Amino acid sequence: MRTVIVKVDSLSQGLQRFKRAWKTGSPQGEYVTFDSLETLLKTLTSRRWELIRVLQEGGRMSLRELARRLGRDVKRVHEDIHKLIEVGLVEQGNAGVYVPYDEIRAEFNLRKRA
């Protein structure tokens, strides 16, 4: 099963994972990281999560078919797909777009400021 973790993470934490992977030669997992919760929520909107869900359930499909299943305009679906490809949650091949992950976990913490 292929899993990706979507999280808010600092550059230094990401570099630490890279260093561990480099030293040990073992993967540290797959991550899509954002520098702030605001950026994560702006990028992964409720419409984009719905798009991901439909792709996970339906498998690889064309943008037109995806837009039809979502009941949305093809142009807007194309914009959302482009953003999701950019962040690495969706991939595009000859037969359409798809989510390469069996599971997507979202992790973030809200802490009281000192």
Tally of domains within the chain: 1
Which tokens hold the place of 56?
Answer: 């996970």
| DSSP-derived secondary structure letter, 9 | -
Within a domain: residue 89?
Answer: yes
- Whether residue 92 lies inside any domain: the answer is yes
Q: Of 95, 87, 8, 11, which Cα lies nearest the Cα of 52?
A: 87
Domain annotation covers residue 13? yes
Q: What is the CATH number of the domain that holds 99?
A: 1.10.10.10
Given this model, what pLDDT does residue 73 score?
97
Where does the pLDDT of residue 109 fall: very low under 50, low under 70, confident under 90, or very high at 90 and above? confident
Q: What is the pLDDT of residue 114?
A: 74
pTM for the full predicted model:
0.81
Domain span holding position 19: 3-107
Q: Which residue has the tokens 């869900």?
A: 53
9 and 107 Cβ atoms separated by less than 8 Å = no
| 9 pLDDT more than 70 | yes
Query: Percent of the chain, pLDDT > 90?
Result: 62
